[in-house]
Amino acid sequence: MSDQSVAGEAKGFLGWVEKTGNKLPDPVFIFFYLIIALMLVSVVASMMGANAVLNDQVLGGMAESQKTRFSIGEDGIIPAISLFSPDNIQRLWVDMPETFTHFHPLGYVLVVMLGAGVAERSGLFAAGMRSAVRGAPKALLTPVVALVAMVGNHAADAAYVVLIPLAGILFASAGRHPIAGITAAFAGVSGGFSANLFPGQLDALLFGITEAAGEILVPSYDANIAGNWWFIVAILCIYLPIIWYVTDRVIEPKLGRFVATGMAANSFNEDDKPLEPDQVKGLKWAGLACLGTLALWAFMTWGPGTPLINESAADEAVPWYTEYAPFFNSLVAFFLVLFLSAGWAYGAAANTINNHKDLVEMMAEAMKDMGYYLVLAFAAAHFVAMFQWSNLGLISAVHGADAIENSGLPLPILLGLIVLFSALINLFVGSASAKWALLAPVMIPMLMLLGISAEGATAVYRVGDSATNIITPLMVYFPLILVFAKRWEKDFGLGSLMAMMIPYSIWMLVSGVLLVVAWVYLGWDLGPGAPMEYTLPAAQTP
């Protein structure tokens, strides 16, 4: 543990957030209380006839499946639905196993942690990180972690369950506070969710929705899959120094000096001590195992049969991401095999794994560590699902977008407000693609009519969507980050994590708004062949 209680209690607003947050009930019960409140609100909203109305353009562009999903009739009315309705009560009890097991991050977390648990308990992580940082400038750890975290978004959900706990181990190995590493990685992976050096899965996912929304006004509209390339690079260049500064100058001084105790002291408090011969041998064996796993995945991607490439897409006019979709979707399994094989190889050479029973025991211990997360995921899964069943999220999004449209403010200021609006909605509706699927049919036609391209609307949305990921407990991975932090500070609570992440969020949000406003004034393209401005074809103008 660290000297946090002595060295640096937060003062002012952040201190209030930390103290208040830590006094809250356990996150599991917070979700149950939210479910109860949501059920009552849904009843009142349904009885009062709360609704939102989609205009004909938006309604005409929606798929029938979307209309059915949200009970939208031919009149375009989205009704608030009571969670005590017969259908929702039936759905709650009948679909309960499916609601839990289909909770998006659950499978990713459990699969990766099976392998990561072996790699950690065999000693591979500790030895590898200690070897890597011996003699390296510790001051450069933060920017390296932040950069890898933002670029690691291409690994999607795997970045959360792999990079963030590894960052804590890396900082501890360097004699720095591991929670500072966790917050830096969390800020990069989640707060910088839309920052990167190259387009990736998220771009393919969002622009598929963008194109469908653009076709509401212009049936022949084709979205540019690289339409935010220059913009996301700019976000990365801005967020990197922000994460570096906040981590080193704000967060780590508050945490105080880290002093490892117990088993951690043997692994993470000896960064200047040379590795034992068995550990060096183990790292070599682990390296060979990693190369073997990489070779296996390369063979399955480009070898005979190419099982990890969608060959049928290669002959179609679709982005290359579609062709490589199986490869991207296999990355979680890749990390399982990578960590499992490397951890086993290291343990066999370093004598920390003597037989297959040791291996199975380490995997079982890793699952025991996930016990609390499983309970938390059960509650979180039902809250997220029931919020969707009530239609309250969609109704709020539509009314909010209408209010922005009717504000009459100058265009750059309007776009800045849309960033803030997206950030606010993100506190309650976590999934980037699900939220964009709800907002895009309203926001994109609205902005196209105001002279902003669909690519521009997407860029504006994703700034707000990212910045507040790291401060909302409703974000599906937020409880997992809390579990990672508790492994280093057992008294680290929900309020502590929120207080740590607020400075990152504020700096990211403010800089993101300024970037959007400046981009509009400067008139720069958002990507190759993707200008910010857009003029509707004359024949398509309403």
Query: Of the ranges 193-202, 358-367, 399-408, which one carries the lowest mean pLDDT score?
Result: 399-408
Judged against a pLDDT cut of 50, whether residue 5 lies above it is answered with no
Distance CA 77, CA 30 (A): 32
DSSP letters for 164-183: HHHHHHHHHHTTS-HHHHHH
Contact in structure between 183 and 263 (CB atoms under 8 Å)? no
The token duo for 51 is 């609704």
What pLDDT shows up at residue 260?
62
Query: Of the ranges 70-84, 144-158, 500-514, which one carries the lowest mean pLDDT score?
Result: 144-158
Q: What is the pLDDT of residues 454-494, one digit of tens each?
A: 899 999 998 988 888 888 876 778 888 888 888 888 878 87
What pLDDT shows up at residue 7?
39
User: Whole-model pTM above 0.75?
Assistant: no
Distance CA 122, CA 247 (A): 30
Query: Of the ranges 352-356, 430-434, 522-526, which one carries the lowest mean pLDDT score?
Result: 430-434
Judged against a pLDDT cut of 80, whether residue 27 lies above it is answered with no
Judged against a pLDDT cut of 60, whether residue 138 lies above it is answered with yes
Query: Of the ranges 283-292, 323-332, 363-372, which one carries the lowest mean pLDDT score?
Result: 323-332
For 438-445, what is the mean pLDDT? Answer: 75
Between 44 and 541, the higher pLDDT residue = 44
Between 42 and 213, the higher pLDDT residue = 42
**Cα 48 from chain centroid?**
35
Judged against a pLDDT cut of 90, whether residue 83 lies above it is answered with yes
What pLDDT shows up at residue 54?
73
Query: Collapsing DSSP states into helix, strand and coil, what is residue 232?
Result: helix
Distance CA 386, CA 389 (A): 5
State the pLDDT confidence band at 507, using cuts at 50, 70 and 90.
very high
Contact in structure between 431 and 104 (CB atoms under 8 Å)? yes
For 2-6, what is the mean pLDDT? Answer: 40
Query: Of the ranges 16-25, 110-119, 500-509, which one carries the lowest mean pLDDT score?
Result: 16-25
Question: Which residue shows structure tokens 């006004």?
Answer: 217
Q: What is the pLDDT of residues 149-190, one digit of tens each?
A: 888 776 556 677 777 888 888 888 777 899 999 999 999 988
Judged against a pLDDT cut of 80, whether residue 435 lies above it is answered with no
State the pLDDT confidence band at 3, using cuts at 50, 70 and 90.
very low
Judged against a pLDDT cut of 50, whether residue 539 lies above it is answered with no
For 73-96, what is the mean pLDDT? Answer: 90
Choose from 284-288, 331-335, 495-499 the range with maximum mean pLDDT. 284-288
Contact in structure between 380 and 476 (CB atoms under 8 Å)? yes
What pLDDT shows up at residue 503?
93
Query: Collapsing DSSP states into helix, strand and coil, what is residue 416?
Result: helix
For 8-16, what is the mean pLDDT? Answer: 57
Contact in structure between 422 and 460 (CB atoms under 8 Å)? yes
For 110-135, what is the mean pLDDT? Answer: 76
Amino acid at 493: G
On average, the pLDDT of the chain sits at: 80
Question: Which residue shows structure tokens 């990069």?
Answer: 188
Between 233 and 161, the higher pLDDT residue = 233
Consecutive H or E run containing 51: strand 51-53
Q: Work out the percent of the chain whose per-residue pLDDT is above 70.
A: 80
Please report which residue ranges of 391-472 form alpha helices under DSSP H.
392-405, 411-426, 432-449, 454-467
Distance CA 8, CA 3 (A): 8
Judged against a pLDDT cut of 60, whether residue 269 lies above it is answered with no
Between 374 and 202, the higher pLDDT residue = 374
Contacts with 445 (C-beta within 8 Å, 6 or more apart), sequence order? 57, 58, 61, 213, 214, 216, 217
Q: What is the pLDDT of residues 85-108, one digit of tens each?
A: 999 999 999 999 998 988 766 777
Query: Of the ranges 60-64, 145-149, 174-178, which one carries the lowest mean pLDDT score?
Result: 60-64
Query: Of the ranges 316-320, 323-327, 423-427, which one carries the lowest mean pLDDT score?
Result: 316-320
DSSP 62: S
In angstroms and rounded to an integer, the radius of gyration of the C-alpha atoms of the chain is 24
